[in-house]
Structure 1
Amino acid sequence: MKRSEIKRRPLADTTLASLEPESTVYREPDGQGLYFRVKPNGGKSWELRYKKPDGKWSWLGLGSYPEVSGAGARLKANNLRTDAADGVNPLTAKHARKASELESANSTFESLALEWINIRRPGWADSTAKRTIGALELHAFPVFGKRVYTSILPIEWMEFLQGMEKQGIIEQMRRVRRTCREIYDLARVTGRAVHNPLDGLNRFLQSKPSENYAHVTADDLPPLLRAINAYPHAHDLRLGLRLLMMTGVRPSELREARWDEFDLKAGLWMIPAERMKKRRPHSVPLSSQALDALEQLNRITGAYPLLFPGRNERTKPRSNMAFNMALRRMGYAGRQTGHGFRHIASTILRENGFAKDHVEAQLSHVEDGVSGVYNKATYLEQRRTMMQWYADHLDKLAAGNVVSIKRA
C-alpha cells in the first residue's frame, strides 16, 4: 500500500502492515505527535515528536513495528505526553520506565526460582534435578512464572495448590509446595522479601500417605514374589524387582546403577555419594541370591555401563516408571510399587528381631542433627548376615504352587 492511499488516522493495523517503503525514509502521522516511520529497506518503527523543556522539538523512538503494535505505541505516547505536561522530560521518563521494567523482569517468580536452582543444583543427583525442575516448569511457572514474586498472595498459592489436589496429584503438590516455599526463603534471607506466602499452607492441604509407596500385606507377599519370579515380559525388569526386594535400595539407586559400582567377588555394591538422597556413599552387602540375579542380569546388559540401559538410548537408564509398570502388568497397580519394597523389608526385619540400627543402615536412613553427622557406623558384617537371612526368608515365602499372573 502506498502512503498516498491512506484514508484515515489513527493508522489501521492493515495500513501499518501493508505500507510500502520508498527511496527515502518517510514518516506518516498517526495523531497527537505520534509518527510511523518507514525505511527504504522496509523497516518500520514508531517515533514521538515532543518539545523539550528548553522549547526545542525532538524525536523519541518508541520501538519497532510489529513488536510494538499501534495500540502499544499510542499507550506509550500518551504516557510520555502526560509526563511532558507534568514538566518531566519524556526521554528521562522513558529511561526510568525501561529500568523499572527491567527490575520487574528480574523480580519474577521464575527468575527467583532459577537463582535458587543454580544455588542448589550442585548438590542434587540428576534424578532430583529432573524431578524438581520438571515440577516447576509443568505446574508453577505457567501460573506464576512471569509474576513479580512479592505480589503473589497466600490465597493465590492456596488456590493453586488446591487445584493440584483436585487433580489427585498429592505427592506432586507436596513437592511443589516445599520447593516454592524454599524459593521464597531465599528471597527472605537475602532481604528481598519480608514474608513467605507459603508459610503455614501445609496445615490446610491434604497430607495423606503417598500412593507411590504402596506395598502389599504380609498375606499377599508370597503371591507377589511368585508373580515376580514368573514375570515373562522383560527379564531385566524381573531381575530388577528381585534385586529391589533383596537389597532394600531405592528404585532410582538401582535403576541408575553402573556395573563398575559392584564387586561381585566381595559381594558388595558401593553406591557413590552423588547418587544417594543424603549425598553420602552407601555400601550394600549382597546375598547369594542377589549375586545370582546380578550374574543373570550381566548376561543381558553387561555390555553396557548401566545395569538397566534405556531401550532407545543405551547411555541413559530406563524410565523411572519401568519397575512400577512391570508391577502394574502383574495386576498390582495401587497395591505395590518399587519404593514399597523398602517398607516390606523394614517391617519383616524388625519383626524378626534384627536391630533397628542395622535395618536403618541398610535402608541408608540418616539420623537428623548432630548424632547423624557423627554416627558413621555402617554395620556391614551384621547387615551381610541380616540380608542373607532376608533373601532366604523370601525364598521360603515364595515356595509353593505357582500362581498365574493377573494382567492389568
Structure 2
Amino acid sequence: MTTKALTEREVKGAQPKANKYELIDSSRERGAGRLVIAVYPSGAKVFAFKYQLDSKRQYVQLGRYPSMSLASAREIAQPLAGMVKQGIDPKVEIEKAKTKEEAELRIEAKKGSLGQLFEGYTQQMQLDGKRTYKAVLAVLEKEIYPIIKPDTKAKDVTVDDIKSVLGPIIRRGAAVQSNRVRSYLSAAFNYGLKHDNDPAKIGSDVLFGIVFNPVSAIPKQTAAESVGENYLTFDETRELLNTLENREGFKMGLHVAKLIQLCFYTGGQRPYELAASRWDAINWNEATLEIIADVSKNKRAHLLPLVDSAIKILEQLYAERDPLNPFIFPHRFDHTQHLRLYSLSQSLDRYRKARPDAKHFVPRDIR
C-alpha cells in the first residue's frame, strides 16, 4: 500500500486484483484518519474514510469512483479528519445528521398542499354552517388550479402567484369575481395560519407552515361596482328576459336561463337559494316553494309564493327533469348536486360580451 498523496491518474489507473486492496491518500498528519480508495476484484472503486478512535477502527464509505472524484472525496474527508482530531466520532455525527435530516423531511412532507388548504378551509366552512362551502371550493379549483397546481405547498405560494391568478380575471372584465376569489383566498390562508396553532389540531397529519398571508398585500378592485348600487332598468330587464327565451348569439344552458328568469319572477330571490332547492320543496296546490333552513342565508326556513310566470317555468323544468337528481336546477354531470353559481356568472359574462352596449351587472344585482 502506498502512503503518499494520490493523484487522479493513479486512481483512474488502479487495476483490480484477485483480492480487494486499498490505496491510501496520505494527509501527512497523524491521528486524523486517512482517505482511502478500495479497489475490488470486480473493478469497482469506492472512496472511504478510515480512522481509529478509542482503540476502535472505523470505516465511513463516501462514494464510488468515478461518480465521485478524488478532489470531491478529499473535500468530504477534510471535516471528518477535523472531528477525529477533536475526539469526535464522525460516524456518530453522520448518523445524527442523517436522523435530523430525516426528521426535517418528515416535517416538510407533512406541510400541506394548496389543495389540502382549500379542502380544510371549506370543510371548516361546512362545520360552521356556511351553506356555500361547495360553491367556494368549486370557484377556487376553477380559478386557481390552472395557474397554481394543487400539489404546490401552501407555504410556498407567493404574492406574485396570487397576482398571476387575479390578473387574468380582472382583464376579462370580471373585477367583481376577482374580488370574490381574492376574498376566498385570503380566508383560506388565514385558516392555514391558525391551523397549526389550533389546540384542536394537535396530532394532525397536516401542518401548513404558513408564516404570512400572501393575499394581504393585494388590494381589492375598488372600481368594481358595489352590490346595491347597480340595477337594471325596466327596459333592460325586459330585454334580458326576452333574450333568455331564445338565447341567440351567446351560449347559455336552459337551466341557467330559467334560473335567471325565476330570480326575477320570485321578486329577486337569491340565486343560490333557488339553485339549491329541491322538487319536494314545491307545494303545487298552494303555489309555494319552501326555502329550507339549510339553503336559506339566514338559516331560517320561509315560504316563497309563486306567481303564474314562476309556476310556468317550474312546470317546464319539471317536464324535462332528471329523475335521478332531486334538485330543481341539476348539476350537468353529477346527479347528487345542484347547478353551480359560477355557471351563472359565466353565462352572464357571455351575454354581456354578445351585447357590448349592455350595462355591466352581476347575479346579485338582480336583487
SS for the counterpart of 1:209 is coil
Question: Is the counterpart of residue 306 in structure 1 residue 323 in structure 2?
Answer: no
Contact persistence 2:258–2:313 (CA under 8 A): yes
Question: Is the counterpart of residue 339 in structure 1 residue 353 in structure 2?
Answer: no
Contact persistence 1:51–1:58 (CA under 8 A): yes
Contact persistence 1:188–1:194 (CA under 8 A): no
Q: TM-score, normalised by structure 1?
A: 0.53
Structure 1 residues 117 and 220, CA gap change in structure 2 (3 angstroms): closer
Structure 1 residues 33 and 211, CA gap change in structure 2 (3 angstroms): farther
Q: What are the residue-to-residue correspondences of 1:159-170 with 2, within 5 Å?
A: 159-169=160-170, 170=178
Distance 1:258 1:272 in 2: 10
The amino acid that maps onto 1:181 is: N
Q: Which one has more relative contact order, counting CA pairs under 8 Å at least 6 apart?
A: 1
Q: How many residues align?
A: 295
Deviation per CA, 1:94-119: give whole Å up to 9, x if none.
11111122223334664983684386
Structure 1 residues 83 and 306, CA gap change in structure 2 (3 angstroms): farther
Structure 1 residues 136 and 185, CA gap change in structure 2 (3 angstroms): farther
- The Cα shift of 1:244 comes to 1.7
Contact persistence 1:228–1:238 (CA under 8 A): yes
SS for the counterpart of 1:269 is strand
1:208 alignment counterpart:
223
The amino acid that maps onto 1:128 is: V
Deviation per CA, 1:104-154: give whole Å up to 9, x if none.
333466498368438615435422333345555455556x9337x3xx6xx
Structure 1 residues 294 and 226, CA gap change in structure 2 (3 angstroms): same
Distance 2:222 2:73 in 1: 49
- The Cα shift of 1:160 comes to 3.5
The amino acid that maps onto 1:253 is: E
Distance 2:321 2:236 in 1: 31
1:357 alignment counterpart:
none
- The Cα shift of 1:242 comes to 1.4
- The Cα shift of 1:177 comes to 2.8
Question: Is the counterpart of residue 103 in structure 1 residue 107 in structure 2?
Answer: yes
- The Cα shift of 1:290 comes to 1.6
Structure 1 residues 47 and 335, CA gap change in structure 2 (3 angstroms): farther
Distance 1:273 1:297 in 2: 24
The amino acid that maps onto 2:281 is: E
Deviation per CA, 1:325-377: give whole Å up to 9, x if none.
5543584577466624xx343xxxxxxxxxxxxxxxxxxxxxxxxxxxxxxxx
- The Cα shift of 1:176 comes to 1.9
SS for the counterpart of 2:302 is strand
Question: Is the counterpart of residue 93 in structure 1 residue 117 in structure 2?
Answer: no
Contact persistence 1:140–1:176 (CA under 8 A): no
Return the match for 2:137 from 129, 136, 154. 129
Distance 1:9 1:181 in 2: 61
The amino acid that maps onto 2:190 is: R
Structure 1 residues 160 and 294, CA gap change in structure 2 (3 angstroms): same
Q: TM-score, normalised by structure 2?
A: 0.58
Return the match for 1:146 from 153, 160, 165. 153
Contact persistence 1:267–1:287 (CA under 8 A): yes
Question: Is the counterpart of residue 265 in structure 1 residue 285 in structure 2?
Answer: yes
Please list every run of 5 or more consecutive structure 2 residues that lacks an aligned counterpart in the other structure: 1-8, 13-19, 26-34, 41-45, 171-177
Structure 1 residues 326 and 145, CA gap change in structure 2 (3 angstroms): closer
Distance 1:273 1:159 in 2: 40
- The Cα shift of 1:184 comes to 1.8
Identical columns (%): 14
Contact persistence 2:289–2:304 (CA under 8 A): yes
Structure 1 residues 222 and 60, CA gap change in structure 2 (3 angstroms): same
Structure 1 residues 58 and 321, CA gap change in structure 2 (3 angstroms): same
Question: Is the counterpart of residue 222 in structure 1 residue 222 in structure 2?
Answer: no
1:370 alignment counterpart:
none
Structure 1 residues 235 and 128, CA gap change in structure 2 (3 angstroms): closer
- The Cα shift of 1:91 comes to 1.7
SS for the counterpart of 1:291 is helix
Alignment RMSD: 5.1
Distance 2:225 2:81 in 1: 61
More helix by share: 1
Return the match for 1:180 from 182, 186, 189. 189
Structure 1 residues 189 and 217, CA gap change in structure 2 (3 angstroms): farther
The amino acid that maps onto 1:251 is: P
The amino acid that maps onto 2:330 is: P
2:312 alignment counterpart:
292
Q: What are the residue-to-residue correspondences of 1:324-403 with 2, within 5 Å?
A: 324=345, 326-327=347-348, 328-329=350-351, 331-332=354-355, 335=359, 339-340=363-364, 343-345=365-367
Structure 1 residues 225 and 162, CA gap change in structure 2 (3 angstroms): same
- The Cα shift of 1:315 comes to 4.5
Distance 1:262 1:198 in 2: 45
Distance 1:282 1:52 in 2: 82
SS for the counterpart of 2:221 is coil
- The Cα shift of 1:165 comes to 4.2
- The Cα shift of 1:312 comes to 4.8
Question: Is the counterpart of residue 244 in structure 1 residue 253 in structure 2?
Answer: no
- The Cα shift of 1:297 comes to 1.6
